[in-house]
Amino acid sequence: MERLLFSNHCLTVTRLLFIALVFSANIKLHGEETKALSFSGDKIQQVRNILSDKCFSCHGPDEKKRKGKLRLDSKTDAYAMRDDGFPILPGKPQESLIYARMTSSEKDEVMPPPNSGKSLNPQEKELMRDWISAGAPWADHWSFIAPVKPEIPTVKNPNQIRNPIDSFIQKRLEVDGLEPNEVANRATRVRRLYLDLTGLPPSPEELDSILSDNSPDSDQKLVKKLLDSPHYGEKWAQMWLDAARYADSDGYEKDKGRQVWAWRDWVVNAFNRDLPYDKFIVEQIAGDLLPDATDSQRIATGFLRNSMINEEGGIDPEQFRMEAMFDRMDAVGKSILGLTIQCAQCHNHKFDPLTQAEYYGIFAYLNNSHESTTAAYTPDQERKRADVLRKVREAEDLLREQNPDWQTRMAQWEQEINGRKAIKTDWEILRPSLDASGGQKHYLLEDGSILAAGYAPTKHSTEFSAVTGMKKISSVKLELLNDQDLPLNGPGRSIYGLFGLSEFSVMIGPKGKPGEAKKIKIIKATSDANPPEKILDPAFNDKTTVKRVTGPVEYAIDDKVETAWTTDIGYGRSNVPRQAVFVLEKPVELPEGALITIKLNQSHGGWNSDDNQNNNLGRFRLSVSSESDVVSDPIPGRVREALAIDPSKRTEMQVATIFSHWRTIPPEFKNINNEIERAWSEHPQGSSQLVLSQRRKMRPTYRLERGDFLKPKEVVNTGVPAFLNHLESSAGEAPRLQFAKWLSDRNAPTTARSIVNRVWQSYFGTGLVATAEDLGSQSEAPSHPELLDWLSVDFMDHGWSLKHLHETITNSSAYRRSSKPTSLQLQKDPYNRLLARGPRQRVDAEGVRDIALAASGLLNPTVGGPSVFPPAPEFLFKPPVSYGPKVWREDKGPNRYRRSLYTFRFRSVPYPVLQTFDAPNGDVSCVRRAKSNTPMQALVTLNETTFVESARALGLKTVEEGGKSDHERATFAFRRCLSRTPTRQELAVLIEMKTKTSDSVASDSAKALKLAGITAAKVSALESKATPSELAGWVAVSRVLLNLDETITKE
């Protein structure tokens, strides 16, 4: 019998066909009858791997790099007759050119060429020969064909078969002659399940209660219970956060903090409610485009916005928008497709059949988006907000009820205002000439408005000069506009999407004579937003003693730089278009045309331009008029927009918008209006969340030569790669949404496999395909290809339910086995790829810290919310270690002990505890963490503040709750860390440690208290339970326990 190494994938014309384990008869390949002499499908894949690794870089999909016009990744080309013969002649290795070249002894003949650094070893050559002899049966790369459910193999020894997983694994073990281990003991299994499903160890009480359940399905009951725990979502979100390159800061030089925890919570929540994985993908790629998209679905698109943002001084914003786009592509490739699509950013992929044009076809789906921020609210804020909106609605309803004639009155009012002059003035828009110099960049948009982008100084003045043909200039209008690329839609660039305009000034001179321009006094300013004077928001503290305020529009023309005009009228309704009109003291008449310069002094930002402290204008438009008798339109832009629509065609929403403004006018509505204002004042602030939103105007996508954004070539339309599933387009659906559905289509060949493989990797340390980031041609061959396919199809058959997948895996014998290796296993399978033993691995960085917090009882189990700041050495966040001074306000309250998932993550200064244990920093998508084992890790668990505080807390808990005798207490602390009872040997070591430490401080109670981190008063409150030196002893024991390999290991 042929020895089975890998499974068989073999093609018919249309479908992948799974045949039993070995080919030994005539089989159909691409419709041809080929005599394949005992050449198994797995071997065909091995041949393909050789061709890919050794040949494709010169004879593969990349046309430009192709040598000798020979292509070996396509069957047609590889088998076609050439001038010099057949590259591959089935059945005849000696007559096949590739085999002749591979085995040539001539230096300039042999392939691959010696200078490539690649060569074939004798076994590989032999395999090539056998393959060609066997008729060179062709197969496309396995992962490019959608999985179908393979038959479950029969095995000789069915003792350990609990579900189909075990059949596939047992089959392979039998081939390799390895015996599987027996099931691990109960306590080990329980701790394993807790750590795998929730990331936390069981408490001793939980452990006791589970161990007392002797029913045969007790493990499955536990799995269900753990999957229902909110901590399940926290544990598994981490995997996705890595893949989604999640961090709480922008990266690059400024590395400013950002608020993206709402997206992180969305992920946790999605896992907890078992959002089907296909929907999970759709919402993250295009949640904003779903019909009746909810806030939560919009927030889901934060996935695509986890890219870094560069606002370093002097950057070209478009360059770094493109960098972010490349990053998004890479993240989609690694995290969803499991393919290295970013290789085709600069040229055709060298190994996979992905052309550069196809790469930009995918790019085009994502390119037509705004990089927006939306308001996000905690559940508590969400309730408050709903309350405010309800109060406003009810008050307005009441008004309508009390004034049944409101429609008539409103219509009358509309007629009146239409006759008014203010809005009829003919304004001429100024289109200043802008260059790319300066720190903050400005762009002139089509409508004449100016958009600020890039670096954001916190105190600066900018001048905009434009020539106008208007012969007489009497007033200037400044319109502030929304823009989806601004924070919270603008109109400003501050974290609130607002601004402070410190001074507004105008200089006018004759056209062509810049030296003659004169400053013109402004005598009147009006605006539709005139908030009362307020002390400047502390976010813009400039560390001076100057009292800076914001207030009505007059503050922009009072020659006082410390006062500024803002349109901030409170949370929830300030991010709207506004305007101001400035009337000049005397009209300026320049018959030859004028050069007008507007100076915008924006000095209401904070002291640190490396942080989020700008208070600048975001998008604005300047216009001039010859008339002096003008005021700003008192009717807000949104209302004006609604009024512009024919009354018969207005939507309910538009009528409501008009009503909300109109009701502020009749004096008799004063009381209710005041009530409404009061309600608005209770609106929560919320935070911002980076999301994607659809651009109305298409932005063309070009193929970029060498991936250089300065070298756009032909326009590329949206489209998906030919070698993957077909995209079923449905009319009227936005392209990005179609793309999202394509990614998560049942026929997508890699989507389910990729996530199933990563879940497997998380349990067993290595995926069924070891290269989780690449399932393409260059990937490592799967250890159990049929199992991967079976699991993937089963996963999709069960509604893409990850919880179902977890249940399936954890219920297998493969998962439940003891992890203790036998010599034979170590020898034949040192890395446990065949899974004769259970998984044993150090938990992830977050788990290391979470275990210490849980075992000591310090853990604050609150789920979700803004990121937290556990103890960290302050100097890390200050120059010269950090580029800019960062704020790390160490939490002293309950947030000090939250799960590590919630730790604030600065990309440029990763949280050291987690980084030391291999947590990625979020620069790029990561789907496979390293697991290192270093002295730095030892220093962390020995000496880092949280670990020391955990040891002290556990020591205290031990004397308080752990019984009286040393034996009882040692056992108590041991079980909290390791979920098992200590051996006699282990107890002896612990008790000796306790005794030695207690003795060493017995005569020095100050020292004992210091070690125990406790005050004398607190110790005396322990009553008779422990003396200071005894407590110190148990703290020392706890410290030992929290540092054990087993404590941070899933056994």
Partner 1 sequence: MKSDQDRLRSRIATAISRRWFMEECGVGLGTLALRSLFSGEYASADTMKPVDPLTSKNPHFPAKAKNIIYLFMAGAPSHLELFDNKPQLTKFDGQLPPAELLKGYRAAFINPNSKLLGPKFKFSKVGKSGQELSELLPHLATIADEIAIVKSMSTDAFNHAPAQILMNTGSQQFGRPSLGSWAMYGLGTESRDLPGFIVFSSGKKGPSGGNSNWGSGFLPTVYNGVQFRNAGDPVLYLSNPEGIDETTQKQTLQAINQLNQYHLNSVGDPEIASRISAFEMAFRMQTSAPELMDISQEPKHILEMYGAEPGKPSFANNCLLARRMIERGVRCVQLFHEAWDQHGNLVNDLKANCKDTDQACTALVKDLKQRGLLDETLVIWGGEFGRTPMVQGGSDGRDHHPNAFSMWMAGGGIKPGITIGASDELGFNAVEDKVHVHDLHATILHLLGFDHLKLTYRFQGRDFRLTDVAGEVVQKLLA
Instruction: Name residue 707's amino acid.
Output: G
Tokens of 890: 């160490």
Q: Give the C-alpha separation, 369 to 364, whole Å.
A: 10
Q: Give the C-alpha separation, 873 to 102, whole Å.
A: 58
**Closer residue to partner 1 (CB): 121 or 544:** 121
Instruction: Give the binding range for partner 1 (CB under 8 A) out of 250-258, 288-296, 442-450, 583-591.
Output: 250-258
Q: What angle do CA 768, 922, 307 make, to 5 degrees?
A: 110
346 exposed, middle or buried (CB, 10 Å; 0-12, 13-18, 19+)? middle
Q: Give the C-alpha separation, 141 to 432, whole Å.
A: 57
Q: Do 618 and 508 contact (CB within 8 A), yes or no?
A: no
Minimum CB separation of residue 718 from partner 1 in Å reads 24
Name which position in 406, 923, 1005, 1025 contacts partner 1 (CB under 8 A).
923
HSE of 921, CA atoms in CB hemisphere, 13 A: 17
Tokens of 790: 């079976």
Interacting residues with partner 1 between 115 and 144 (CB under 8 A): 117
Interacting residues with partner 1 between 644 and 663 (CB under 8 A): none
Tokens of 943: 């000496």
Interacting residues with partner 1 between 719 and 778 (CB under 8 A): 771, 773-774, 776-778
Burial code (b: 16+ CB inside 10 Å, e: under 16) for 367-403 equals bbbbbbbbbbbbeebeeebeebeebbeebbeebeeeb
Is residue 33 near partner 1 by the rule CB under 8 A? no
Radius of gyration of the chain (CA): 34
Minimum CB separation of residue 250 from partner 1 in Å reads 10
Which residues 6+ apart lie within 8 Å of 651 measured at CB? none
Minimum CB separation of residue 945 from partner 1 in Å reads 8
Is residue 386 near partner 1 by the rule CB under 8 A? no
**Closer residue to partner 1 (CB): 165 or 243:** 243
Name which position in 634, 647, 719, 1013 contacts partner 1 (CB under 8 A).
1013
**Closer residue to partner 1 (CB): 114 or 469:** 114
Minimum CB separation of residue 311 from partner 1 in Å reads 10
490 exposed, middle or buried (CB, 10 Å; 0-12, 13-18, 19+)? buried
Is residue 948 near partner 1 by the rule CB under 8 A? yes
Instruction: Give the binding range for partner 1 (CB under 8 A) out of 1-9, 157-165, 227-235, 979-987.
Output: 979-987
Is residue 698 near partner 1 by the rule CB under 8 A? no
Interacting residues with partner 1 between 773 and 832 (CB under 8 A): 773-774, 776-779, 819-821, 823-824, 826-827, 830-831
Tokens of 296: 């939560």
Interacting residues with partner 1 between 879 and 898 (CB under 8 A): 879-884
What character string, x for contact with partner 1 (CB under 8 A) and - otherwise, covers 270-309? --------------------------------------x-
Instruction: Give the binding range for partner 1 (CB under 8 A) out of 6-14, 71-79, 357-365, 920-928.
Output: 920-928
Is residue 1010 near partner 1 by the rule CB under 8 A? yes
Minimum CB separation of residue 830 from partner 1 in Å reads 3
Minimum CB separation of residue 699 from partner 1 in Å reads 21
Strand partners, 850: none
**Closer residue to partner 1 (CB): 737 or 1009:** 1009
**Closer residue to partner 1 (CB): 216 or 935:** 935
Instruction: Give the binding range for partner 1 (CB under 8 A) out of 199-207, 275-283, 782-790, 936-944.
Output: 936-944
Is residue 933 near partner 1 by the rule CB under 8 A? yes
Tokens 């006759």 -> residue? 419
Burial code (b: 16+ CB inside 10 Å, e: under 16) for 785-807 equals bbbbbbbbbbbbeeebbbbbbbb
Name which position in 389, 942, 1002, 1022 contacts partner 1 (CB under 8 A).
942
**Count residues contacting partner 1 (CB under 8 A)?**
106
Q: Give the C-alpha separation, 305 to 1025, whole Å.
A: 54
Pairing of strands 712-716, 32-35: unpaired
Q: Do 912 and 876 contact (CB within 8 A), yes or no?
A: yes
**Closer residue to partner 1 (CB): 471 or 820:** 820
Minimum CB separation of residue 674 from partner 1 in Å reads 50
Question: Strands, DSSP E only, in 752-871?
Answer: 841-842
**Closer residue to partner 1 (CB): 536 or 913:** 913
Which residues 6+ apart lie within 8 Å of 329 measured at CB? 341, 342, 345, 359, 362, 363, 366
Is residue 255 near partner 1 by the rule CB under 8 A? yes
**Closer residue to partner 1 (CB): 670 or 1010:** 1010
Name which position in 202, 242, 1032, 1034 contacts partner 1 (CB under 8 A).
1032
**Closer residue to partner 1 (CB): 439 or 861:** 439
Is residue 593 near partner 1 by the rule CB under 8 A? no
Instruction: Name residue 447's amino acid.
Output: D
Backbone angles phi, psi at 478, to 5 degrees: -115, 115
Q: Do 829 and 836 contact (CB within 8 A), yes or no?
A: yes
**Closer residue to partner 1 (CB): 122 or 830:** 830
Instruction: Give the binding range for partner 1 (CB under 8 A) out of 75-83, 211-219, 252-260, 378-386.
Output: 252-260
Is residue 908 near partner 1 by the rule CB under 8 A? yes
Interacting residues with partner 1 between 414 and 443 (CB under 8 A): 435-439
Q: Do 740 and 281 contact (CB within 8 A), yes or no?
A: yes
HSE of 221, CA atoms in CB hemisphere, 13 A: 9
Minimum CB separation of residue 184 from partner 1 in Å reads 11
Name which position in 123, 985, 1003, 1024 contacts partner 1 (CB under 8 A).
985
Minimum CB separation of residue 178 from partner 1 in Å reads 13
Is residue 323 near partner 1 by the rule CB under 8 A? yes
Name which position in 23, 99, 280, 351 contacts partner 1 (CB under 8 A).
351
Is residue 177 near partner 1 by the rule CB under 8 A? no
Whether residue 230 is preceded by a cis peptide bond, meaning omega within 30 degrees of 0, is no
162 exposed, middle or buried (CB, 10 Å; 0-12, 13-18, 19+)? middle
CA dihedral of residues 830, 836, 838, 839 (deg, nearest 10): 30
Name which position in 194, 266, 326, 897 contacts partner 1 (CB under 8 A).
326
Q: Which of 836, 624, 649, 847 has its CA nearest to residue 160?
A: 836
Name which position in 645, 656, 936, 1016 contacts partner 1 (CB under 8 A).
936
**Closer residue to partner 1 (CB): 771 or 810:** 771
Q: Give the C-alpha separation, 178 to 378, whole Å.
A: 53
**Closer residue to partner 1 (CB): 632 or 1027:** 1027
Is residue 840 near partner 1 by the rule CB under 8 A? yes
**Closer residue to partner 1 (CB): 785 or 1028:** 1028
For the chain, the first-to-last Cα distance in angstroms comes to 36
Instruction: Give the binding range for partner 1 (CB under 8 A) out of 92-100, 615-623, 735-743, 983-991.
Output: 983-991
Q: Give the C-alpha separation, 516 to 506, whole Å.
A: 13
Could you say which DSSP state residue 516 is in? G
Name which position in 498, 909, 973, 1026 contacts partner 1 (CB under 8 A).
909
Minimum CB separation of residue 119 from partner 1 in Å reads 13
Element containing residue 586 per DSSP (H, E): strand 578-589
Strand partners, 903: 868
Q: Give the C-alpha separation, 63 to 631, whole Å.
A: 65
**Closer residue to partner 1 (CB): 298 or 842:** 842
**Closer residue to partner 1 (CB): 38 or 827:** 827
